[in-house]
Structure formats: C-alpha cells, structure tokens
C-alpha cells in the first residue's frame, strides 16, 4: 500500500484523504496505489486520460458502458484529439481485431450498466499488455467486495464511490486505484495540478461508509437474487439480466472472477408502455437515476442514464424502451418481493 504526494496544500491532500485511501486499498486486498480521491465520478477517468494519453492515441471502449462515460469520450475527450472505438468486450476476437498500432488503453465495465454483461478481465489484460496497452476496469457495479480487477491483471480500477462505496446516497465521489507506482505518480501529478480532490467532509462520509461495505453488499446480493428469480418466472418479463442466475450467458465467468453478484438487476418488459406501468406500480422502490444506496431505486435507462446515446446506437446495444434497471437495496426481502410482484402484475 502506498500513497503518492505530500500535504502542503488542501487541493493536494489532507489527513483524512490518506485514511480513506488506506481503507480503499484494504478493500482491494492487493498491493495498490491510490490516486487521491477525485471530486466527482466521471472526473476519475478524465483525470487519468489527460495525463496518460496524447493527441492521436487510441482507446478501445466497451460498447455498452454507462451513458455518461460514452458522453465524456464522445463530446469531450474527442475534442482533445484522443481517438476511440467501441467494441463488444465479450468477443475477444473482435477486441484483437479492433486494436490499432496507437492503442494505449482498453477500458471496460464489468458488469456493464445496465445490461450486466461481463468482461473476462484476465483475458483482456493479456490482450492489452501484448499490444503494449493498459487495461482499465470500471468496477462500480461489483464493488471491491465482490470483484478485485487488479488480481486479474487490470492496471487501473475506477469506482464511482457515490454508489456502493458511499452506499447512502449522500456524497458524490470517485476513486482511481492503480497497481503501478510509476502510473500512480503520473496521475497524481495531474490531479495535484488540477486540484481535483473532494472536501474533507466528503472523505469522512466515505470513510464512514466503507466500514459497513461488507454487511451492505451481502444484503444487496441476497435481495437481488430473490428479485431476479422472481422476475425470471413472471410472465410479464421478457428477459432478466443478472449474473447470479444460471441462465445468464456468462454465469460461469461470474463464478470464476467474482465472489458475489452484487445488487443490480435489469429486466426487459417488452415495451415502453409496460415499463411505465411497472414503474408506476412500485410502492417501495423509488424512481431515481442513482444506484448502490441502502434504498432500492428503479431507472428507465433509455430516457435517463443512457438518454445521451443516439437512439439507433442505444437500441443496437440492447437498451430498449422496455428495459428497466433496478438497484436493489437492503430493505426487508419480503417487502421488496411483494413490491416487485405487485408492479409486475400491473403490466
């Protein structure tokens, strides 16, 4: 475990930053170097990009990543001359074919938001390193409790700590963790220059939260498994996306590289009309765009989290108007089961 940098100015570090960094590395359970926590979720990768890449460099991006990440690349980073292509990270042959001589990074989510697709982290690390590139993994949906990408060869791990790490829907925070001291120093230089650090109180909130991460994640998973199984047998549901179900096409990969399946479940109800009826029928679960908190939330990706993606691209990736994403909280299991069943019956 190592922290990079000194304590000469507030924009660089205050003691509680160091405390939060130590807890983050302990959660990863591996030698790691924490870039000072960044101020907001998407800023975590923007910080990394500006220091690691030059104009003309190429990045491979998972094609079904979070809409905000896609927007960052498409409308911001492209203007700085960084080139990128999207690819199905499940298809290793397609990943190899998409490599350029100037490819510097493969960037994936696993599980992805909102379709819960998985990436084989070890295989992608081999491909990236053979091409002289780095592998970055957005581990937000799994959390470090259920998945530790550094152990499988990733070079960079990012978390929207607003979600499971924070866990109480009361902070906006991001974390970048790397395996290399040299890489950490390069990233820290930029963060220090840009001042992309959170305030002490935000760090205190995160420090409070990581102490209960294990307890919360176990209950998130227990509840999500029950809800996924309920949805998989209900006639109103066309498809369930949850890696904990044996019917998930990458269930075996989930068993191999994850120690649990987390609390995110997506369901396809077949049409926007049915999705609207389902959401309106919920009494405990709240309509909101965030996720990973102790309370259960529902989201309509096509009009919320992924609205910035052009409709044709969104539909091609499987994000249909009937898709609904559930962030399953830690409420009483029977209450959540009854709530979802009641809403499904309205469809």
Distance separating alpha carbons of residues 162 and 155, to the nearest angstrom: 22
Domains in the chain: ranges and CATH:
2-210 (3.40.640.10), 213-345 (3.90.1150.10)
Q: Number of helices and strands (H, E) in the chain?
A: 13, 13
To 5 degrees, how large is the angle CA 151–CA 154–CA 155? 120
Amino acid 39: pLDDT:
47
Q: Tokens standing for 316?
A: 């091609």
Amino acid 317: pLDDT:
87
- Residue pair 47/86 in contact by the 8 Å Cβ criterion: no
> Within the chain, where are the H helices?
15-28, 43-52, 67-71, 92-98, 121-130, 143-146, 181-194, 200-210, 213-233, 251-257, 272-281, 311-316, 333-345
Q: Tokens standing for 69?
A: 């990440």
Q: Tokens standing for 194?
A: 């840009």
Spell out, as residue ranges, where the chain has pLDDT lower than 50. Answer: 1-14, 26, 29-31, 35-37, 39-41
Q: How far is CA 111 from CA 182, 201, 237, 279, 302, in A?
A: 28, 30, 21, 23, 18
- Residue pair 60/103 in contact by the 8 Å Cβ criterion: yes
Terminal alpha carbon distance of the chain = 51
Amino acid 196: pLDDT:
74
To 5 degrees, how large is the angle CA 232–CA 237–CA 238? 100
Here the contacts of 233-240 (C-beta below 8 Å, separation 24 or greater) are 234/341, 234/344, 236/269, 236/274, 236/278, 236/344, 236/345, 236/347, 237/267, 237/268, 237/269, 237/344, 238/267, 238/268, 238/269, 238/270, 238/322, 239/267, 239/268, 240/265, 240/266, 240/267
Distance separating alpha carbons of residues 168 and 269, to the nearest angstrom: 29
Amino acid 32: pLDDT:
52
Amino acid 92: pLDDT:
99
Q: How far is CA 122 from CA 126, 128, 210, in A?
A: 6, 10, 26
Comparing CA positions, the residue from 130, 70, 65, 64 lying closest to residue 96 is 130
Amino acid 188: pLDDT:
81
């Amino acid at each position: 475990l190592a922290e990079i940098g000194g304590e000469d100015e507030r924009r660089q570090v205050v003691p509680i930053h160091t405390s939060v960094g130590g807890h983050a590395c302990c959660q990863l359970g591996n030698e790691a170097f924490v870039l000072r926590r960044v101020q907001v979720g998407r800023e975590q990768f923007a910080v990394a990009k500006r220091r690691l890449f030059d104009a003309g460099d190429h990045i491979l991006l998972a094609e079904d990543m979070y809409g905000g990440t896609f927007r960052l690349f498409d409308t911001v980073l492209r203007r700085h001359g960084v080139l990128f292509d999207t690819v199905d990270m499940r298809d290793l042959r397609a990943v190899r074919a998409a490599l350029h001589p100037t490819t510097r990074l493969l960037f994936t989510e696993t599980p992805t938001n909102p379709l819960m697709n998985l990436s084989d982290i070890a295989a992608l690390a081999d491909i990236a390193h053979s091409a002289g590139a780095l592998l970055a993994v957005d581990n937000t949906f799994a959390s470090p409790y259920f998945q530790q990408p550094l152990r499988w060869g990733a070079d960079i791990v990012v978390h929207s700590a607003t979600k499971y790490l924070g866990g109480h829907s009361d902070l906006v925070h991001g974390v970048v963790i790397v395996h290399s001291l040299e890489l950490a120093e390069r990233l820290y230089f930029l963060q220090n220059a840009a001042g992309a650090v959170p305030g002490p109180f935000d760090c205190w909130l995160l420090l409070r939260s990581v102490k209960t991460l294990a307890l919360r994640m176990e209950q998130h998973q227990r509840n999500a498994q029950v809800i996924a199984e309920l949805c998989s047998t209900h006639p109103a549901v066309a498809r369930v996306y949850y890696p904990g179900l044996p019917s998930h096409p990458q269930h075996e990969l989930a068993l191999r590289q994850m120690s649990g399946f987390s609390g995110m479940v997506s369901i396809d109800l077949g049409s926007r009309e049915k999705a609207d009826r389902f959401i309106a029928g919920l009494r405990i679960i709240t309509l909101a765009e965030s996720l990973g908190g102790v309370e259960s939330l529902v989201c309509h990706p096509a009009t919320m989290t992924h609205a910035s993606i052009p409709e044709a691209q969104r539909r091609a990736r499987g994000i249909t108007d009937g898709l609904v994403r559930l962030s399953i909280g830690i409420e009483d299991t029977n209450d959540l089961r009854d709530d979802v069943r009641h809403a499904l019956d309205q469809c």
